[in-house]
Structure formats: structure tokens, C-alpha cells
Chain A
């Protein structure tokens, strides 16, 4: 496989063996193009979340390394921000403080970080909820808070771990479209873990298919779906449907 010229994240021969002998990943080598949305897709237990957390610097691999902008990853860094599957919002803090939390940890003064947070809250469509608490929000709204928090620290790379898995289908579709809109404006690199074939095909510039445990790269697909069209047209697009089918043909063999 040839590496694209403008690679932002490189995964080189990464392997992960958990205590207790579970081998989550083996010899994973990958490149993520800058300013694109890549998804990690595969059956449950294939190590996609593990790989994402290794890229985030939250888990140390047993073998191989991650390079971001050519620099070896030793832990979390300001150029990467994480959006969690379970939202991971501070229940005692308002939406405003939650969104500003990454900046608070970096020591940005309150006035400045709250101004940035307010902007991000408006951008993800939660204007007016600044002083609400997480338990007053729906799942979809909580995940928007999680996304706003990741956007607030202005990282180049946004790592999303099944962000829509616990929200209902309408919310999910609306959120997917908003996400695509947002990415077009902000030129972020997104690495996105999902187990939904449709979601991967709909959102991605690059789809990485992982095999079951131990996870290895099974196939890389670049759908090249025209993004100019509306969401409903994309879902009827020939390329989109072919991509969904192609992925299913591969994943089918993993389903016992």
C-alpha cells in the first residue's frame, strides 16, 4: 500500500496484548489522510476502540508506534481530541463548563475559555443550554456537548468512539449531517469508530475494515462519493450503495 502524500496519523505495526492474554490487535499498519474523515469498521471485539485509544495516547501498544505529523505519540496531546461513546460529561458541571473543560485543564483563563465554549456550543446547535446540566439533556444533546468540548481545544484531529451508538436513529442522521457540514468548514481530520456499515459509507473518505480478534487491517476502501449532493441523494447514490454492499460482502464472512 502506498502512503498518501499528506498523512497526518501513521499507525506502524501496532499490536496490543491485554493482561490475561487477549490479543486485541496485531501488526496494524495504516495511514490517515489530513483533513479527511476515516472510519474504523469491524465486528464487535475487533479492537477498533483499542486502536482509537492507542492513537489518542490513552492506551500504550505492546508493539509498533503511532506517529502524528511525523512525531511519535507517547501520550495524549493537544493536537488530538477525543469524543467518547458514553459522552463522559462531568455531571456536576454545566454545559458551559463541560465544553470549556479541556481549556480549563490547560489553564486558559475563565473569561477566554467561556467565550470559546459559548461559540462552540452555538456551533453544535446547543445555544441557550449553556447553564443546563448533563442530566437535563437527551443523549443526542450530550453527544453534541462532547463534540463541542473536542472542538473547543481546536485540535487538528478528532477521534470519535462510536459517538452515535446510544442516540436514536433520527438524532443520529441529523447529527451525521451536521458533522459533515462542520468538517467541511473546519477542515478537521476525523477518525471515527463505528459498527454501522451505512454510517461508515455515508460519512467516510476512507474506511478501514478490521478483522475479528486479533484485529488486523482487512481492507481499506475509499468510497469517493460526491459530497456536494444532499444527504438523501447520497443515500441513493450508486457508489454509496456499492460501498455498503462491498463492506457487507467482507464483513459477512466474520459473522458466525
Chain B
């Protein structure tokens, strides 16, 4: 019973939010805000189109590639920064600067370096995601229980075993939190990258819709991207909760 009582407000606030949107939209206060019902209808009509499928595929590919690089580089770098004294201090400053820096401002510069195209978007996703992954991994490994490392050594663990069987598992909750935050930022990276490049993927659609003032389709796309980011984040959060359970006694 307690659970349902706690669950009500969340759903309730969504309902109110949707109702207010609908009313504001129907009142015709602004052409920028069409009624929510029409946006949902637009989403349903946009989703099965080939144009959307192509855009989504390009965007997903950029997102997946950028995230893959962010994970492959971010996690090992974070581990190294936690384990190698000096490296953590030197690189830590840069990571901290970039984690809060407005990366979007760098995209135009990226375009002039790597060209206007998918590569720019992949690099944008990477830059949006990688720093928070590095930071969280570093914190997780640095805070790993030293006595667990000593225990593993006392039982004759070799270096790679200490990393694989103690440090990484010990830091898994923080690493996953970093990956989740990185993935959310990565979605932003796809959209911003494609918007600035403006000729591919979802960004092209956004550009198209806003130029022709197709507000219903525009908001529908916002809704779809939002739901995608939410789904990715929730999927990683679900893994996190499983891990937290085992790590709760740290």
C-alpha cells in the first residue's frame, strides 16, 4: 500500500503536466506550442516513416560508436588515473575542466577539423560522455577497499587478477553511475552534434521541422529523443540497482 501511495504523485504530476500542455495548446496562446494530443498523433505518424527510420538509424549508429569509444577509453583511463600517482593529478585537472565545460561550443571547431559529417557527431558524443565516465571510474577505483587489494595479494593474486577480480568489481557501482550519466550526455551529444552539422540524422529532421515550422512533428521528435534517453538511463539504472545490492556492504 505504501508503495502505491508513493507512486501516485509521480504519475499524477505527469498527468497534470500533460493536461496543462493540452489546455495551453488548445487555447492557441502560441503557435510554438500545439496541443499535446496532436503532438502524440504526429509522433505516431512520424515513427513509421522511412525518413525517420533513416534518421534514427544514423543517430543510433553515431550514439553507439561515440559511447563505445567513451567506454573503451574512459574506463581504462579512469582506472589508470586512480592507480598511477601523478597521472591522476595531472589529468584530473583537465577532466574536471572538461566535465563542466560547454562541449557544444567546441563542435563548430570539430567540424573544421574532422569535417562535416558523421565523424563530427561521433566525436561530439564521445566528448559529451567520456569525461564523466573517467571521473566516476577514477573515484570508484580510488575508493576501493585497500584491504581487499591486500587480501588478494596475500593469496598470491597477480596484477591482472587484482584489477579484474577486485578493483573493477569494487568500483562497479561508480563506473555504472558514470556510464549512465555519460549515456544521458551522449544523447545530448548526438542531437547537438547533428543540429550543428545539420545535414544528417535526427538533427536534420529537427532542422527541417523548425524551418518549415512543423511544430507538432518537432515536438514529437523531442518526445521520442527524450523517451530514448530515458529508456537508456533506466536500463543502466536497473543494472546499477542489481550491483548496488551486492556492493551495499562496502
A-side residues, CB < 8 A to B, are 56-58, 76-78, 80-82, 84, 86, 88, 90-93, 101-102, 104-106, 133-135, 149, 153
* Majority secondary structure of chain B interface residues (helix, strand, loop or mixed): helix
Q: List 14 A-B contacts (CB under 8 A).
A: A76-B153, A76-B154, A81-B155, A82-B155, A84-B150, A88-B147, A90-B169, A91-B249, A91-B250, A92-B172, A101-B152, A105-B165, A106-B156, A133-B249
What's the Cα separation between A76 and B158 when bound, in Å?
11
* Majority secondary structure of chain A interface residues (helix, strand, loop or mixed): loop
B-side residues, CB < 8 A to A, are 145, 147-148, 150-158, 161, 165-166, 169-170, 172, 243, 246-250
Number of inter-chain CB pairs below 8 Å:
63
What's the Cα separation between A78 and B155 when bound, in Å?
7
**Least Cβ–Cβ distance between A138 and chain B, in angstroms:** 12
**Of A82, A86, A90, which contacts B154 at CB under 8 A?**
A82
Contact B155 A153 (CB under 8 A): yes
Residues of chain B contacted by A106 (CB below 8 angstroms):
155-156
Contact A92 B147 (CB under 8 A): no
Contact A91 B156 (CB under 8 A): no
Residue of A nearest to B169 (CB): A92
**Least Cβ–Cβ distance between A178 and chain B, in angstroms:** 22
What's the Cα separation between A149 and B151 when bound, in Å?
11
Contact B155 A88 (CB under 8 A): no
5 other A-B residue contacts (CB within 8 Å) besides A76-B154, A76-B156: A81-B154, A92-B169, A101-B152, A102-B155, A135-B248
Interface centre among A78, A88, A102 (most CB of B within 10 A): A88
A84-B147, A86-B147, A105-B165 given; A91·B154 CB < 8 A = no
Residues of chain A contacted by B145 (CB below 8 angstroms):
88
Contact B155 A76 (CB under 8 A): yes
**Of B154, B243, B248, which contacts A58 at CB under 8 A?**
B154
Residues of chain B contacted by A90 (CB below 8 angstroms):
148, 166, 169
Contact B156 A105 (CB under 8 A): yes
What's the Cα separation between A3 and B207 when bound, in Å?
87
**Least Cβ–Cβ distance between B68 and chain A, in angstroms:** 25
Contact B152 A105 (CB under 8 A): yes
**Least Cβ–Cβ distance between B161 and chain A, in angstroms:** 6
9 A-B pairs with the lowest CB-CB distances in the bound complex, closest first: A135-B249, A92-B246, A88-B151, A102-B155, A82-B154, A91-B249, A88-B147, A105-B157, A76-B154
